[in-house]
Structure 1
Amino acid sequence: MLAGKKILLGVTGGIAAYKTTFLVRLLIKAGAEVKVILTQSAVSFVTPLTLATLSKNPVHLDFVNEADGTLDWNNHVELGLWADLMIIAPATANTLSKMANGSSDNLLLATYLSAKCKVFFAPAMDLDMYQHPTTKANYQKLQSFGNIMIPATSGELASGLDGEGRMEEPEKIVEFIEDYLKEGLPLSHKKVLITAGPTYEAIDPVRFIGNHSSGLMGVELAKKAASLGADVVLVLGPSAIQINDTSIQVIRVTSADEMYVAVMENFKNAEVVIAAAAVADYKPKNRAKEKIKKSSDSLNIELVKNKDILLSMGKSKTGQYLVGFALETENELANALQKLKKKNLDAIILNSLKDEGAGFGGSTNKITIIDKNSSIKAFEVKTKAKVASDIWKEIISKMHA
C-alpha cells in the first residue's frame, strides 16, 4: 500500500523520537521513499546521521544549511509539495499546539503549513499532558482541519508513570496508515490470490523442464491489486523479480507440485483468484539423483502429467471469482472458450503468440478478455502494468454488476 509513496516524516523533541529509526526502516521496507525533518530539540534524542543513513536522504534541520562557508536554503514549500503523505511522530504537546494555531517558528511547522497531502500525527507525552483539556482541544482542532490522529497507547512513560500517552509502536503506525489508505478503494480488504511465473520440473539435480515466463504479468497484477486495497498472496515460480510491497505476501515455489500445495492452502480464503502462472503440463516421471552423463547419442525421458491447478480450483470454488490465462498458438478463441468452460472459470485472459508484443519475456502484452457469458473484449498492445489495470477494471466491474 505504501510502495512508491513519498513520505515526509517530521520528528519532534520527545523521548519517543528513538522509535523513528524503526519507523523509517519499516517505511523503506514497505517500498516508500522517505525524507526526514528534525526539530532542533529532536536532535537531543536521535541523530540526523542515523536517520539520513536509514532514509538514504539528507535530513533537514533548519531553514538554512551552512557548509563550507556557503548557505543553502531548505525550501519548505517544495518539501510540502513533494510528499504524498506526511507523518509527525512523535508529536509533542508543544508541536501540536503550534500546529493547531498556525505557528511557524521552525522548518517542520512551516512545511506542515505548506503541505497539500494528508497529514498523520502520533502524539507522545506524559499522561496528564495527554489528557489535559487544552491538548484534547488541539487534537480536535487538528482533526477538524483534516489531519489524522494516531492515538497514543498506554504503557510505561519516561516519567516512570504508567498510563496513556505512549507513542504508538512503529509497526502499528505503518499498519494504521495502510488501513486508512485502503478505505474506499475498490478492493479494500479483499483477499486476492495470484499465481505467476514458470514452474521448473527437475530432470536431475542440475537440469529441468521449464518455459520462458518471467512472471512479470502476474507480478503487475499483484501490485495493481495491492494499490487498489487488496490483501494479496502471490505464489511465484522461479523469477528474478523482487517485490517490495508489504501488502503482497510472496510465496516462492519451484515446481508445479509446490505451486499446487501453496495455491490450495490459500484458495479457500481468497475472494478473487487469477492464475497467471505458466505451469508445466508435464514433469519427468523419475528424477535422476545424480547429474545425467552424456554417455549416448540419445536420451529418453518419460513424462507424466502434473496436477491441473486451475481445474482443481474450478472444481472446488465456493464463490471465488476465478480467472485463468490461455496462451495459444492456433485456434486461439476456440481453445480459450473450451478452457473457460472446462475449468469452471468466471473469465479467461487470452494471449496469442502470433500477436507481436504478446507472450513471455517482454514488457508488453496484448490480451482478449472473455467472461463466462462469452462476452469478448479485445485490447491493444500495452505495457504489462497497463494490461494489469485493464484486467482489474474488468474484474471489478463484473464483481459489482
Structure 2
Amino acid sequence: MIQNKHVLLGVTGGIAAYKACALTSKLTQQGADVKVIMTENAAKFVSPLTFQALSRNPVHMDTFDEKDPAKIAHIDLADWADITLLAPATANIIGKLANGIADDMLSTVLLATQSSVYIAPAMNVHMYAHPAVVENMKQLDAWGYHFIEPGAGYLACGYVGKGRLEEPESIIAAVAQHQSGQTLLSGKKVLVSAGPTQEKVDPVRFFTNRSSGKMGFALAEAAANAGADVTLVTGPVSLEAENKRIERIDVVTAEDMYQTMHDHFGTSDIVIKAAAVADYRPKQIYDEKMKKQPDDWHVEMERTQDILMSLGERKEHQFLTGFAAETTNPVDYGISKLRKKHLDAIIINNIAAEGAGFGGDTNMVTYVNKSEEKEEMTLRSKQEIADEIVIKIARDMKDETT
C-alpha cells in the first residue's frame, strides 16, 4: 500500500528528526515517491541535504521559495500528496494544526492538503501528557487525522516514559495497514445503531441508560474510513459524526429505533447494532406531570420489541453483528445470544471491567464469529477497537463467500 504512493513527509524540530532519515530511506526502498518538508528548527538537527539525497527530491522549507512561476509551491505539494506523514510531530506543530495556524511551509501545506494525514508525535513525557497537547490531539482525532502513538522508553531528555518516536518500520506498517483498510468495505452499505433510547413517563421524566454512543459512533467512523456508505441510527447523544460518508438519523424511543433499523435493513450489507436499547418501557404515559404523592409510585413496564432478534429473523444477505454488554459470565451469555438471534458475529464486553464501562473513551471486548471463534481485544481506545472490529467483519464476510 506504499508502493507508487506520493508521500509528503513533514519533519519538525525535535531530536527524533534523525529517525526521519531512516524513515525516508525505507519509504523510498518500498517504492514510495517521497518529498520532504522541513521546519526551520528541524534543519538545526539534520541537514536538508541528507533528506534530498535519501529521497532524491528537493527539500522544501520556505513558503515563499517559488521555484516554478506556473505553480504555487505549497498548494502544488498539498495536491501532489497521496499520504502526508508528520514524523516527528512536536507539540508545536500539533498545536498549530489543531488551531488552524499557517505560519511556515509545513503548517501551510497541512491546512491545504486533502490527503490522509498521519501524525507520529515525539516529545518529553510531561509535554505529551499536558492538557493543552491532549486537547489538541483530541481535536485532530475528531477531525479525522490519524495518530501513530509514541513508544515508551528512555527519552533524550533523560526521562523514561511515553514520548519516543515510533520506529520507522512500525510507522510504515501502521500507515500501510490503515491505507489497506480504506478499501476494505468499498461499495458496501453499513447500518449502525448507537447510543441509548429514552422511554417517556410524563412530560418531564423518562427511563434511559448510561450509554454515551461513543462505541457506535466509532464503528460508524471506522466503516466510513474503510470505504463504506454508512447510515448511523442514534439515540439522544452529544456526539457529532464528522465523516461525510455517514448519514445520521436521530431517534428517541426503542420503537423509533426499531422502525428506522427495519426501514434501512433491506438495502444494507452489514448491520452493527451497538445501541443500548431499552428492554422495557412504561405501559402508561401521562400527559401531565405526575405530582409527588404521599405513597409509593409504581410504574408498570412492558417489553419493547427485540430489534436484533427481529433483524436476525429477516436476515438474507446481510452480515449481522450484535453487542452483549454484561457483568456476569459475559462470554457464555454472548455466545448464547449469537446463536439465539441468528447473528454472524457478536462483540462481548464486560462492562464491570475497569476501562470498559459506559461513557469512557476506552474499551476491551471479545469478538466471536458464527464459527464461535473467540478473539480478545485488549484495553485501548474505542476508535482503535472499532477499526479492528471492522477489519474482522470484512475478513469474516470474505470467508463466507469463498
Correspondence for 2:292: 294
Correspondence for 1:170: none
The one of 332, 354, 362 equivalent to 1:364 is: 362
1:195–1:235 contact (8 Å) kept in structure 2 = yes
Q: CA deviation at 1:359?
A: 2.2
Q: CA deviation at 1:113?
A: 6.0
Q: CA deviation at 1:348?
A: 0.5
2:364–2:378 contact (8 Å) kept in structure 1 = yes
The one-letter code matched in structure 1 to 2:380 is K
Judged with a 3 Å threshold, the aligned counterparts in structure 2 of structure 1 residues 226 and 77 are, in CA distance, closer, same or farther, namely farther
Give the whole-Å Cα distance in 2 for the aligned partners of 1:227 and 1:339. 29
Q: Which runs of 5+ in 1 are unaligned?
A: 1-74, 81-101, 120-180
Q: How does 1:197-346 map to 2 (within 5 A)?
A: 197-346=195-344
Q: CA deviation at 1:273?
A: 0.5
Correspondence for 2:45: none
Q: CA deviation at 1:244?
A: 2.3
Give the whole-Å Cα distance in 1 for the aligned partners of 2:181 and 2:337. 36
Compute the RMSD of aligned alpha carbons.
2.6
1:76–1:110 contact (8 Å) kept in structure 2 = no
Q: How does 1:104-253 map to 2 (within 5 A)?
A: 104-105=68-69, 108=72, 111-112=75-76, 116-118=80-82, 185-253=183-251
Give the whole-Å Cα distance in 1 for the aligned partners of 2:282 and 2:393. 36
Aligned-residue identity in percent = 41
Q: Which runs of 5+ in 2 are unaligned?
A: 1-58, 84-178
Give the whole-Å Cα distance in 2 for the aligned partners of 1:344 and 1:79. 59
- TM-score, with structure 2 as normaliser: 0.57
2:196–2:211 contact (8 Å) kept in structure 1 = yes
SS at structure 1 position matched to 2:230 = strand
Q: CA deviation at 1:308?
A: 0.4
Q: CA deviation at 1:330?
A: 0.9
Judged with a 3 Å threshold, the aligned counterparts in structure 2 of structure 1 residues 344 and 107 are, in CA distance, closer, same or farther, namely same
Higher Cα radius of gyration: 1
Give the whole-Å Cα distance in 1 for the aligned partners of 2:337 and 2:383. 25
Judged with a 3 Å threshold, the aligned counterparts in structure 2 of structure 1 residues 299 and 333 are, in CA distance, closer, same or farther, namely same
Correspondence for 2:174: none
Post-superposition Cα deviations, 1:237-292, rounded to whole Å, max 9, x if no partner, equal 01000112221000000000000111000000000000000000000001110111
Judged with a 3 Å threshold, the aligned counterparts in structure 2 of structure 1 residues 106 and 201 are, in CA distance, closer, same or farther, namely same
Give the whole-Å Cα distance in 1 for the aligned partners of 2:305 and 2:377. 31
1:336–1:350 contact (8 Å) kept in structure 2 = yes
The one-letter code matched in structure 2 to 1:297 is D
SS at structure 2 position matched to 1:203 = strand
Judged with a 3 Å threshold, the aligned counterparts in structure 2 of structure 1 residues 268 and 78 are, in CA distance, closer, same or farther, namely farther
Judged with a 3 Å threshold, the aligned counterparts in structure 2 of structure 1 residues 330 and 400 are, in CA distance, closer, same or farther, namely same
Give the whole-Å Cα distance in 2 for the aligned partners of 1:393 and 1:271. 15
Q: Say yes or no: does 1:380 pair with 2:378.
A: yes
Poorly superposed stretches of 4+, deviation over 4 Å: 75-80, 113-116, 181-184
Post-superposition Cα deviations, 1:139-163, rounded to whole Å, max 9, x if no partner, equal xxxxxxxxxxxxxxxxxxxxxxxxx
1:104–1:110 contact (8 Å) kept in structure 2 = no
The one-letter code matched in structure 2 to 1:303 is M
Judged with a 3 Å threshold, the aligned counterparts in structure 2 of structure 1 residues 79 and 116 are, in CA distance, closer, same or farther, namely farther
Post-superposition Cα deviations, 1:91-131, rounded to whole Å, max 9, x if no partner, equal xxxxxxxxxxx981166257426864149xxxxxxxxxxxx
